[in-house]
Amino acid sequence: MQTNPETGETGVNEVVSIERHGPVALVALDNPPVNAASHALRTGLCQAIERLQDDPDIAAIGLYAKGRTFIAGADIREFGKPPLDPWLPEVCNFLENSAKPIACILHGTTLGGGLEVALSCHARVALKGTKAGFPEVTLGILPGAGGTQRAPRLAGIPAALDMITSGRQISAEEALKYGLVDRLSENNPRESALQAAQDLIDGKLAVRKTGDLDVVPDDAACQAMREKLARSQPLLYSPHKCVDAVEASRLPIAEGLKEERRLYDACMDSPQRAGLIHAFFAERAVAKIPEAAAKPRDIASIGVIGGGTMGSGIATAALLAGFPVTLSERDQAGLDRGTAAISRNLDGAVKRGKLSPEGREAILASKLVTSTDLAALSQADLIIEAVFEEMSVKREIFETLDRIAKPGAVLASNTSYLDINEIAAMTNRPEDVIGLHFFSPAHVMRLLEVVVAEKTSAETVATGFALAKALKKIAVRSGVCDGFIGNRIMTFYKKSADYMMMDGASPEEIDRAMTGFGFAMGPYQVADLAGLDISWAANKRRAATRPAQERYIPIADRLCENGWFGRKSGQGFYLYDSEGSRPNPAALEIIEEERARARIAPRGFTSDEIVSRFMTAMILEATRVLEEGIALRPIDIDAVFLFGYGFPRFRGGPMHVADLIGARELVRRIEDYAAEDSYYWRVPDLLRKMAESGESFAYMNDRG
């Protein structure tokens, strides 16, 4: 390999180089964007260290990374593929056994395998601002390159348990406090590496082999963590294995590493690992849109119209991200309600530690402006309408905005189902009009559906995505249809639950089956929380256009007729009081009455059947959404449900689940259910084609 005359670096391979400075050798890693420990990085690192072992001129090695971070973990893209030697655990052991002491410099986000590499070196220096952690548990695995054995040796079992089971990132200062690093530095990575290696030689930094250190066993801490996880994460697999692995650190290092490997392999084989890694990539894949190359417009100020739950939530999200916001309402009373809601939302942010009390005061004093006159929005760069879901109301607003908004302002509607093409046509600038569909509470939920109408310009779409990024939300591109991606699919699968309820399953049984599957809440708990009156209004609106063949279940409407709107009125499918919630006997009576009226002899449903029907319905409509081009790829639908609908992350999303079930089996189920209702249960063409060709949704993601 050649030496670069300018830097003095000798390349070992395309991502690793060596630079000599007297008795110090610097080994630099350069594998953008995050220096993931890919096969090339592992090979190059081992070759570099090996080359220096017998070099009589070298007394110590400084290991650092170029770019924004030290190694951010194993290369996740290699997971699930045949392993390529050397494995990261072997690399770590090799580093630990190096005859030449190695000082490692942590910077950026030193995560997972990156932290494990660091812990295998003989001394560690963290740059100020470094974040370190073991996020493996969030991917359904555990630190499998010695992290579960070396972290307890340096930081003790309680700290290691906390970090490894939570995936929490700690600061450089915390890492120092725990003993995971030996000192902090304010220098750059290369200079810090040079200094640290020289200090190893001069005895200013102690040379320690982590594997040689003793662990203080702590059975009580392990037991307490097991009990905590059994309560908080009963469905997850890997957190429990993390505890087993950390507990094994009481063994001699070689035996502990063997046990770690066994547990790591078990996690790797679990379907939860595949689901969680799919979710990791889903979060990032959604940004790859046809408009990605367009330049977003500058957004310096935001206007929000409507101070109800959604409008105040959107305003809060924008304020928390640092935008000045002008809130507009019809009258002063509306503005007062909106301002009070924003102020409560900010209180919540203070309580959750997301905002300081002074920050809250500063926002309310200088970032929020209110007005009953829409003209106050004339200078806003982006205006989001979040008023009553009625086309005539929207018309009034968008015609006014067309007159008063400055040229180039993005005009957005937060409508949940109305036609954005129709809204865009109310203006003379349809290219600036877009749907920005937030999820309630808008300052908390991460999903933002960016609804692209026929004439929306690429710059406007790119601006929607840029806004989402600024608000730390996950934007998913959706085409125009009733309910867009999420609500359209939800409206459909919710009917499958209603049919089961009518045919014999209780709301509680259905909710229990779906929370057992991993949903945060079951469909009737969600309905009660959202307010049954919302779907009651939608049902009434849709009644005129409801196809004659569609089976209609009037149970929720009957609850509403009694004034039972769910949680907010104290009862719905459940009764709510100070002791919590329990099934509402009056609702069960109404269910019985409706069954009798429809001459249905109720039958039992197992949890498996409930989950099967619910998931099949969800996948069925999701396939139609894909077929119609409303969603770009299957993975976009997964992201919508993961980040907007409480879909269990470890299951990866509905389309990931669909691939696990298989198209052929899904077709078989739909045809089976169609024997009772051939209107609702119809096989989408795409699914039938997939069943015939053997193609998967994952294949469509890869194809883009």
Q: Decide: is 211 part of the binding site for ligand 3H9 (CB under 6 A).
A: no
449 is an active site residue:
yes
Residue 622: closest CA among 511, 697, 518, 559: 697
391-410 residues in contact with ligand 3H9 (CB under 6 A) are none
- The residue type at 260: E
Helix 523-530 to helix 484-503 angle (10° resolution) is: 120
3-class DSSP state for residue 538? helix
**Is residue 128 a contact residue for ligand 3H9 (CB under 6 A)?**
no
The tokens of 701 are what?
């993601």
Nearest distance from C-beta of residue 552 to ligand 3H9, angstroms: 44
In whole angstroms, give the CA distance from residue 105 to residue 172: 11
Query: What stretch of H or E contains 540?
Result: helix 532-543
**Min CB(394)–ligand 3H9 separation in Å:** 35
- Which stretch of DSSP H or E encloses residue 616? helix 607-627
* Bridge partners of residue 133, in order along the sequence: 111, 169
Is 437 part of the annotated catalytic residue set?
yes
CB-nearer residue toward ligand 3H9: 121 or 200: 121
33 touching ligand 3H9, by CB under 6 A: yes
215 belongs to the binding site for ligand 3H9 (CB under 6 A): no
- Contact predicate 41/31, CB 8 Å: yes
Work out which of 15, 27, 29, 34 binds ligand 3H9, going by CB under 6 A: 34
Per CB under 6 A, 139 contacts ligand 3H9:
yes
- Cα 100 to Cα 79: distance, rounded to the nearest angstrom: 32
Chain residue whose CB lies nearest ligand 3H9: 73
594 is catalytic: no
- At closest approach, how far in Å is the CB of 138 from ligand 3H9? 7
Residues in CB range of 678: below 8 A, 6 or more apart: none
Stretch that binds ligand 3H9, among 107-115, 208-216, 401-409, 623-631 (CB under 6 A): 107-115
- Of the candidates 62, 144, 313, 479, which one interacts with ligand 3H9 according to CB under 6 A? 144
Catalytic choice (31, 270, 345, 416): 416
Other CB atoms within 10 A of residue 454 CB: 11
Tokens 């406007």 locate to 460
Give the span between the Cα atoms of 406 and 1, in whole angstroms: 59
50 is catalytic: no
Quick note: the x/- pattern for ligand 3H9 over 503-542, rule CB under 6 A, is ----------------------------------------
CB of 677 to ligand 3H9, least distance (A): 42
Give bridge partners of residue 382 from the DSSP assignment: 302, 410
Give the integer Cα–Cα distance in Å for 610 and 191.
61
With respect to ligand 3H9, which residue has the nearer C-beta, 113 or 653?
Answer: 113
Q: Which is nearer to ligand 3H9, 154 or 205 (CB)?
A: 154
- Reading the block at residue 607, the tokens are 């949890």
Tokens matching residue 367: 């970032």
Query: How distant, in Å, are the alpha carbons of 287, 461, 699 from that of 290?
Result: 9, 10, 19
Q: From the candidates 240, 437, 443, 656, which is the catalytic residue?
A: 437
Residue 472 binds ligand 3H9, judged by CB under 6 A: no
Subset of residues 271 to 310 that bind ligand 3H9, contact rule: CB under 6 A: 284
88, 257, 267, 327: which one contacts ligand 3H9 (CB under 6 A)?
A: 88
143 binds ligand 3H9 (CB under 6 A): yes
Question: From CA 323, how far away is CA 240, in angstroms rounded?
Answer: 42
Q: Does 36 bind ligand 3H9 (CB under 6 A)?
A: yes
Under the binding rule (CB under 6 A), the answer on residue 72 touching ligand 3H9 is yes
CB 86 within 8 A of CB 74: no
User: Which residues are bridge partners to 124 per DSSP?
Assistant: 104
List the alpha helices (DSSP H) in 321-415: 332-351, 357-362, 391-404
113 sits near ligand 3H9 (criterion: CB under 6 A)? yes
Which CB, 238 or 584, lies closer to ligand 3H9? Answer: 238
Q: How many residues bind ligand 3H9 (CB under 6 A)?
A: 24
Q: Given the residues 116, 174, 247, 449, select the one marked as catalytic.
A: 449
**Contact criterion met (CB below 8 Å) for 318 and 325:** yes
Looking at beta carbons only, is 284 or 689 nearer to ligand 3H9? 284
| Residue 468 in contact with ligand 3H9, rule: CB under 6 A | no
Cα dihedral 347, 349, 354, 360 sign: negative
Position among 44, 62, 135, 296 found at the interface with ligand 3H9 (CB under 6 A): 135
Contacts of 306 (CB under 8 A, 6+ apart): 328, 329, 338, 385, 386, 387, 388
Q: Which stretch binds ligand 3H9 (CB under 6 A): 144-152, 358-366, 563-571, 646-654?
A: 144-152
Cis (ω within 30 of 0) for the bond into 441?
yes
Binding ligand 3H9 by CB under 6 A: which of 136, 291, 459, 509?
136
Binding site for ligand 3H9 (CB under 6 A): 33-34, 36, 72-77, 88-89, 109, 111-113, 116, 135-136, 139, 143-145, 147, 284
Residues with catalytic function:
416, 437, 449, 487
